[in-house]
Amino acid sequence: MNGLGQFLPIILLIVVFYFLLIRPQRKRQQEQIAMQNSLAVGSRVMTTTGLFATVVGFADDDVLLEVAPGVETRWAKAAIGRVITPVDDADDAAEDPGDEADDAEDATADAPEKGDSSTKKS
């Protein structure tokens, strides 16, 4: 019984590390692989380096990305960081066009005077 008491803190430490570090990392890795495998032509993506592009094709474990009209590059699937979801323009269209003019007037009315108050002479 004395030997088990000495190893119990080490065993608990290993269990805590598993549930706090290893398991969540494994779950994120599986979600990343599932996202990379679910890519489709036409999807907007961001690479792990921050490049935004559109998927135009696949070749083996690579993805062909169009970064500009007529400019295609070949990337490893592992380099795809996330899929960009399109923003709905329906919410913007529902707003009254006159609201934008009112918002611009409010912004200029609330804007502070030019110049820093600490540099003004009295």
List, in order, residues 6 or more apart from 76 with CB less than 8 Å away: 61, 62, 63
Task: Judge whether 82 and 47 are in contact, CB under 8 Å.
Answer: no
Structure tokens at 24: 């969540």
> Mapping DSSP to helix (H, G, I), strand (E, B) and coil, where does residue 111 land?
coil
* 43 against 104, higher pLDDT: 43
pLDDT at 63: 92
Architecture field, domain 2-87: Roll (2.30)
Reported confidence tier of residue 94, pLDDT bands at 50, 70, 90: low
Query: What are the boundaries of each domain within the chain?
Result: 2-87
pLDDT tens-place string over residues 1-53: 577 778 888 889 998 888 888 888 899 989 988 888 888 899 899 999 999 99
pLDDT at 120: 56
